[in-house]
Amino acid sequence: MIRQASIELHGHTCSYRTGGRGPVLALVHGITNSSASWEPVLGLLAQHFTVIAPDLLGHGDSAKPRGDYSLGANASLLRDLLLALGHERASIAGHSLGGGIAMQFAYQFPERVERLVLVSSGGLGRQVTPVLRAVALPGAELVLPLLASRPLVDAGTKLGGFIDRLGLSLGADISAMATGFASLQDIEARRAFVHTARSVIELGGQRVNATDKLYLAAAVPTLIAWGDRDPIIPARHGIRAHELMPGSRLELFAGAGHFPHHDDPVRFATMIEEFAAQTEPAAPDEDRLRRLVVERGRAA
């Protein structure tokens, strides 16, 4: 059974969903989303894992303070949440912005990562939907209330449902985006969204790019999953990352968009279960990391 709980971390409420038994699997959502975005697969994954899906600060039912919403700050909060819940190590799965956080977590705290799962991940290339690039524009905060207005959100949800009924999976993307923008109806949430978006996106596209460090993935079993019709972040980012990440696995979901775990929850959960069963957890090895860094530095 999946339950929702909360904990105080550094004076701020952090909400999360958890359930299941077995190896720990942390699920990190994308921008404007929350742990609720994992609902289609939470029950399936809980059959094999202890799942922990936080609402990042500024999202969902977690606090929305003025503060640092960078990838590094989110990675540190995830570490503190896992430690507070009694878990020293975990497999980390991140969707969209959450993928960037997952990679940052693996970079900052390699000794705490058993496996890495990147789902339609940010931080692997420049391109991103113009809707998010527009947040970098001065005065974007003034437009957000319109995007979050109930009539527009309801219209988006209905349009997504209509497209779904036509058998076109991209309707799931529209519905999920509408739900995300619905979360921006209060000023604290809008402020957190702008700070989060501008920490990783500028007018020309994504400003954070992890491709120069992907060789470090040789030390961590890595799975990359993407919808081949993703309109938010193109699937070619995942294909290129797979080429740059030694030993990584790539799963493309035919016909799926930015939320492959919504388009095919059973396949998605089975994919992660099989990946975990077929790989050994990364073993903390500072000497190996040091050799990787030094050898890449010499080759540069």
Q: Two tokens at 205?
A: 């596209």
Active-site residue, selected from the candidate residues 230, 237, 242, 248: 230
228: annotated active-site residue: no
What does the angle CA 229 – CA 235 – CA 240 come to, to the nearest 5 degrees?
A: 160
CA 26 to chain centroid, in Å, comes to 10
Active-site residue, selected from the candidate residues 15, 62, 91, 96: 96
What does the angle CA 236 – CA 42 – CA 251 come to, to the nearest 5 degrees?
A: 25
CA atoms within 13 A on the CB side of 260: 29
Q: Two tokens at 173?
A: 């993307």
Q: How far apart are CA 224 and CA 116, in angstroms?
A: 8
Per-residue DSSP letter, 57? T
96: annotated active-site residue: yes
CB 250 within 8 A of CB 242: yes
258: annotated active-site residue: yes
Active-site residue, selected from the candidate residues 29, 48, 237, 258: 258
Positions marked active-site: 96, 230, 258
